[in-house]
Amino acid sequence: MTAARTGRLIALLLLGVTVVAGFLMLTATGAHAAGVVQPTAPATPTAPSTGDFSVSVNGPDGTPSSAVVTLIGITLLSVAPALMLMMTSFTKIFVVLAMTRNALALQSIPPNQVLAGLALFLSLFVMAPVLGHINDDALQPYLAGHLDFNQAVEIGTKPLRAFMLHQTREEDVALITRAAGQDNPKSMADVPMTTVIPAFVISELRSAFIIGFVIFIPFLVIDLVVSAALMSMGMMMLPPVMISLPFKILLFVLVDGWGLIIKSLIESYHVV
């Protein structure tokens, strides 16, 4: 009886273990089957974005934004030397002052920095009415939001253009027009700025050389007199410049040379 009970218990245990093992196997198989991810069809590609980008030039009150004003200021500073040389009276004034120094036979006195500074402030004095018109008619209305950028440029170039045309010879305008292969304009008002600027520079250089020639004449006479005197005394080895230089400086100081030259340069420009 004992052996029979023991056999039954062992059989029941084996049956229970078998049932539990089978249940675990079924659970693992179902979980593995549920964890499998079925492949999906690829998504249809969408059209690429156009990447629209916009910049607001004016602020909320209609005035130009500070970024735009800063950009315009930096641009003007980068091209300021070219504008000053090609569109103002600086070129003529500086050339005349440099030729005056050469007529005196002074190679580095006054230095180039002094001549350039004097020419710069004289140019500002001569161009003051033109700059005032540009500021009042174009710059301030643009900063106040009453004009857009294109209108401000168009209005601001009118007084500068009138100043340059007033100092430009028609022969120089015709020269640049023929060199560019363009038709002759009906009037000076129809001349484009690309023609006005080089014609203005050529006219300024011509006027500067004429003034320089007139300045050279009295100093040339002094050199000739001194050279003849040295030749008559047999002092051929002595450089005439050493003797004529003090007389040149004395003559230049007595007639107030710098004042006469600066006054003549300013009066050569007519305020427009």
- pLDDT tens figures, 105-135: 887 788 888 888 888 888 888 888 888 888 8
Which pLDDT score, from 0 to 100, does residue 15 have? 60
Q: What percent of the chain has pLDDT over 90?
A: 2
Q: What is the pLDDT of residue 75?
A: 67
pLDDT digits (tens, 9 = 90+) for 246-266: 888 888 888 888 888 888 888
Please say whether the dihedral angle defined by the alpha carbons of residues 90, 128, 264 and 164, taken in this order, is positive or negative: positive
For residue 80, pLDDT over 70 is answered with no
Cβ(179)–Cβ(151) under 8 Å?
no
Among the listed residues 96, 268, 165, the one whose alpha carbon sits nearest the alpha carbon of residue 176: 165
Contact in structure between 92 and 265 (CB atoms under 8 Å): yes
Largest CA distance in the chain: 169
pLDDT tens digit sequence for 3-27: 555 566 566 555 665 655 554 455 5
Q: According to the model, what pLDDT value does residue 35 have?
A: 46
Q: How far apart are CA 225 and CA 7, in angstroms?
A: 154
142-181 pLDDT, tens digit each: 777 777 777 887 888 888 888 888 888 888 888 888 887 7
CA distance 175 to 171: 6
Strand, coil or helix: 109: coil
Helix axes 257-267, 240-254, angle to 10 degrees: 60
SS3 94: helix
Fill in the amino acid letter for 58: N
Distance of CA 95 to the CA centre of its chain: 23
Sign of CA dihedral 215, 221, 224, 227: negative
Cα(194)–Cα(216) distance, rounded to whole angstroms? Answer: 34
Kindly indicate the confidence band of residue 241, based on its pLDDT and cuts at 50, 70 and 90.
confident
Q: What is the pLDDT of residue 136?
A: 84
pLDDT at 48 over 80: no
- With both helix axes pointing from N to C terminus, report the angle between 193-232 and 90-103 in degrees, rounded to the nearest 10: 10
Per-residue pLDDT, averaged over 180-198, amounts to: 78
Report the Cα 216 to chain-centroid distance in Å.
37
Confidence band, pLDDT 50/70/90 cuts, at residue 64: low
* Nearest-angstrom CA–CA distance, 116 and 93: 9
Band of pLDDT at residue 31, cut at 50, 70 and 90: very low
- Where residue 73 falls among pLDDT bands split at 50, 70, 90? low
